[in-house]
Structure 1
């Protein structure tokens, strides 16, 4: 039976395209055995404000931990949660669906998670639940990891029973298609182009912001502005 698999690091409150990728596959493996990278999407994302986009960043403990994995990366304290929620409230309280979405996500932000991977997964799963995305989400450490970038991805896909590996377009720079061909796994590239604009606060439209922007503004109509998610 055909099965599509995607393997991606967890992100903090990812943008809408991340969830379209989840919805487009049968299993989405959170690849948090990878090395944590600073100033990346693992612990931060953008929101829209009257002054333009603004970063929301979860502080993490990185000093002297240059080779730690994402899964081992600890959150630094708890004060950030109050700051993030205050910032979200200030900038989105006028959005039509703020109260409904706030009720779902404020408790997760304030739950006191100690590691960025766990926080990210809980938020990702809450978004999937709201959008009725039924894709299986798993951790990479539920499987055996091989050496080699392409070899590891192809092997993870095979262990998950995948017949097709769906990759983001940026991976074209390093993925070796022959590794997937040898395993008879189809390799396809996800397309993030041509998203429609949706009703949005604060000036000209901006695509590259957190999914919360879409949910606050559109609520149950959010799937109408996505590619693979269906209302």
Structure 2
């Protein structure tokens, strides 16, 4: 199956279930940037439950701005905040230390564009999962895609389809229960090398 999907900030489980079952992947990079999507947001499992991590971006005065052109607002110390949040949430997880050295540089070197940062983060996660994907980038935005499964709706954080994923042990599940469809980081830190097997065994809903 060939798919088209948005590159997002540490994609959630649904994104990776789509990716792991794809023969080839086209990343949508020619769309307009919209607020309140996973383009610059991910969710992790903190001590108090579901926690959003948002990358601040610079909005222009134009009505529309291409995703590829959106710059990160680096005047805030968002990388420090996100790294500290990950440490607080996952340092007691079974596999955090196993992947820490690979992820650490992402939060300690600045990136100018959100799309570039997301693609770089994606490559790091694929290395951690030992996933080898055939990827390319879109050349022009198309509303309808032919001969390709369109998973672009998964980018909408506010209009998510409910997902029925199998449970796995999470750090704070004894406090707040199982929280599905969090960032791939949650699965990686809790399941480690078994994460890929988990992804391959799941199915997703788009609507």
TM-score bracket for this pair, using the shorter chain length? 0.7 to 0.9
- Aligned-residue RMSD, C-alpha: 2.2
Structure 2: unaligned runs, 5 residues or longer: 155-160, 203-207
Structure 1 segment 33-182 matched on structure 2, within 5 A: 33-77=30-74, 79-141=77-139, 145=140, 149-150=143-144, 153-154=145-146, 164-168=147-151, 170=153
Task: Tell whether 2:206 aligns with 1:209.
Answer: no
Matched length: 192
Residue 109 (structure 1) shift: 2.7
Partner of 2:158: none
Structure 1 distance, partners of 2:107, 2:162, is 28
Using CA pairs below 8 Å that are at least 6 residues apart, which structure has the higher relative contact order? 2
Structure 1: unaligned runs, 5 residues or longer: 155-163, 172-190
- Is the CA contact 1:8–1:31 (under 8 Å) kept in the aligned structure 2? yes
- Is the CA contact 1:197–1:225 (under 8 Å) kept in the aligned structure 2? no
Residue 223 (structure 1) shift: 2.0
Residue 228 (structure 1) shift: 5.6
- Is the CA contact 1:15–1:209 (under 8 Å) kept in the aligned structure 2? yes
- Is the CA contact 1:195–1:225 (under 8 Å) kept in the aligned structure 2? no
Task: Tell whether 2:29 aligns with 1:24.
Answer: no
Structure 2 distance, partners of 1:119, 1:169, is 19
SS in 2 for 1:20: helix
- Is the CA contact 1:195–1:226 (under 8 Å) kept in the aligned structure 2? no
Residue 195 (structure 1) shift: 2.2
Could you list the structure 1 runs, at least 4 aligned residues long, displaced by more than 6 angstroms after superposition: none
Residue 26 (structure 1) shift: 2.2
Q: After superposition, what is the alpha-carbon deviation per residue over 1:91-127, rounded to whole angstroms, capped at 9, x for unaligned?
A: 1111011112221112123221110101111111211
Q: After superposition, what is the alpha-carbon deviation per residue over 1:168-217, rounded to whole angstroms, capped at 9, x for unaligned?
A: 3959xxxxxxxxxxxxxxxxxxx985421111011300112101001111
TM-score by length of 2: 0.84
Structure 1 distance, partners of 2:31, 2:153, is 16
TM-score by length of 1: 0.76
Larger of the two Rg values belongs to structure: 1
